[in-house]
């Protein structure tokens, strides 16, 4: 579908010039929503931050409840937050997150039980195999067990692969070997027997890493451990990856008998340092004004490119709706996006469907329009 150039409207808010493509004034008031439009296809989800979990902003809260029917914990269930010390767990925020999802009748995703990054400091100091095994057992049993029957899906293991498809170096690989993934899934199945269990990673739509993911997923399945799905983190850009590679990956993972999810969808509109791809949080670059061109708003030409990119992606998702169970955006609005501070801090990115004022962008209309 050809997207016509849109008209713009500019307003000044707290010294910030917001330029946005003109959309229907009643686009959020006429009963239409993403979750309703795609209700028969797949869940439409978002990631919640602390302010959203605490319902600090009624406008944002209404937007979430209206547009989405699945929620993922953006950061609060990562080890450094939920399990800061060996014998200390912090459940207050996670309890609120789960209650929020239940109240709004949403599909609730826990993120994540095991990840090499954002570990509590005490974990990094573990030196023995037995101690790390005990940590992993206690961590999964305690957290997954607490939310047994309350959380619908768990990202059990997050980002265990390198770009060439080999196992990523981590404390878990170093001390426990490759089978730490199998152990994690078996522990999660026992602690939360009625919860869907997933492997989640970025760039696994790219050929080499996809092949490694297929080998890893097959090994888990063949071990007798239960794994229900795979999450393709959709941290993409205006220029890539090609939709052909995304489609081939959806098909390949589905052939393993797994549900496929696009779990952390956002599309960066900013220049890409060193042509890097993916979401490796350990990659960071120095601030540079040339890498931050849209501080005063997103030009029409880029709005159109963003809308076209999302439209192309959703056409593939709709085509394979029999294989896909959930599409989750990594954030509610542009202001929340982690891409404002990664891989370069203090940038102004515009990767989502709602702007910093929670208003729908042209891309929202195009994604919604595919179902009209």
Q: Where are the domains of the chain?
A: 8-369
- Over residues 162-180, the pLDDT tens digits come to 999 999 999 999 999 999 9
Q: What is the distance between the alpha carbons of residues 108 and 331, in angstroms, rounded to a whole number?
A: 15
| pLDDT, tens digit (0-9, with 9 covering 90-100), for 80-132 | 999 999 999 999 999 999 999 999 999 999 999 999 999 999 999 999 999 99
With cut-offs at 50, 70 and 90, classify the pLDDT of residue 280: low
Over the chain, what is the mean pLDDT?
Answer: 91
Contact 175, 128 (CB under 8 A): yes
Dist. CA 181–CA 216, nearest whole Å: 9
290 vs 132, higher pLDDT:
132
The stretch 285-298 carries a mean pLDDT of: 88
Is the separation of the CB atoms in 253 and 212 below 8 Å? no
Asked which of 19-23, 71-75, 337-341 is least confident by mean pLDDT, the reply is: 19-23
User: Where is pLDDT greater, at 27 or 75?
Assistant: 75
pLDDT digits (tens, 9 = 90+) for 198-220: 999 999 999 999 999 999 999 99
Q: Which of 29-38, 79-88, 265-274, 293-302 has the lowest mean pLDDT?
A: 29-38
CA dihedral 245→238→362→29, nearest 10 degrees, is 60
The stretch 30-56 carries a mean pLDDT of 95
Is 282 annotated in the active site? no
Separation of first and last alpha carbons in the chain: 14
Choices 3.40.50.360, 2.40.340.10, 3.20.20.80, 3.10.129.10: CATH for 8-369: 3.20.20.80
Task: Kindly give, in sequence order, each residue whose CB lies less than 8 Å from that of residue 221, ignoring residues fewer than 6 positions away.
Answer: 227, 256, 257
Residue 159: active-site member: yes
> Which ranges in 32-128 belong to alpha helices (H)?
34-37, 50-53, 58-67, 79-82, 92-103, 121-124
pLDDT band at 62 (very low <50, low <70, confident <90, very high): very high
User: Which of these is catalytic: 74, 189, 205, 264?
Assistant: 264
352 within 8 A of 334, measured Cβ to Cβ: yes
3-class DSSP state of 91:
coil
336-355 pLDDT tens trace: 999 999 889 999 999 999 99
Residues 6+ apart with CB under 8 A from 11: 17, 18
What 3-state DSSP class applies to 360?
strand
pLDDT band at 32 (very low <50, low <70, confident <90, very high): confident
Catalytic residue among 159, 189, 205, 365: 159
Q: Name the residue with higher pLDDT: 13 or 312.
A: 312
Please, which residues have CB within 8 angstroms of residue 242's CB and are 6 or more apart in sequence? none
């Amino acid at each position: 579908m050809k997207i016509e150039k849109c008209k713009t409207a500019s307003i000044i808010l707290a010294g910030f010039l917001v330029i946005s493509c003109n959309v229907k004034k009643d686009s959020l008031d006429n009963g239409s929503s993403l979750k309703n439009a795609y209700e028969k296809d797949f869940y439409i989800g978002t990631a919640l931050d602390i302010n959203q979990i605490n319902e600090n902003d009624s406008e944002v809260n209404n937007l979430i409840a209206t547009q989405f029917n699945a929620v993922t914990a953006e950061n609060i269930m990562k080890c450094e937050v939920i399990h800061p010390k060996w014998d200390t767990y912090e459940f207050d925020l996670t309890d609120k997150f789960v209650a929020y999802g239940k109240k709004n009748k949403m599909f609730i995703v826990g993120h994540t039980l095991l990840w090499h990054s954002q570990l509590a400091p005490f974990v990094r100091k573990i030196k023995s195999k037995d101690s790390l095994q005990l940590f992993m057992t206690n961590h999964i049993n305690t957290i997954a067990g607490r939310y047994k029957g309350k959380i619908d899906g768990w990202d059990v293991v997050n980002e265990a692969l390198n770009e060439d498809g080999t196992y990523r170096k981590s404390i878990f690989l170093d001390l426990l070997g490759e089978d730490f993934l199998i152990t994690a899934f078996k522990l999660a199945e026992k602690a939360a027997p009625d919860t869907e269990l997933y492997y989640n990673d970025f760039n696994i739509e790219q050929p080499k890493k996809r092949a490694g993911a297929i080998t890893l997923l097959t090994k888990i399945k063949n071990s007798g451990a239960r794994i229900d799905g795979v999450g393709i983190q959709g941290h993409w850009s205006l220029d890539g990856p090609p939709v052909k590679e995304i489609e081939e990956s959806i098909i390949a993972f589905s052939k393993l008998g797994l549900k496929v999810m696009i779990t952390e969808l956002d599309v960066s509109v900013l220049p890409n340092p060193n042509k890097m791809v993916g979401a490796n949080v350990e990659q960071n670059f120095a601030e540079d004004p040339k890498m931050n061109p849209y501080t005063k708003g997103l030009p029409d030409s880029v709005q159109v490119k963003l809308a076209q990119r999302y439209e192309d992606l959703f056409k593939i998702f709709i085509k394979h709706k029999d294989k896909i169970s959930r599409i989750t955006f990594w954030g509610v609005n542009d202001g929340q996006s982690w891409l404002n501070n990664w891989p370069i801090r203090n940038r102004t990115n515009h990767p989502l469907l709602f702007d910093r004022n929670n208003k729908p962008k042209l891309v929202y209309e195009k994604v919604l329009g595919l179902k009209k």
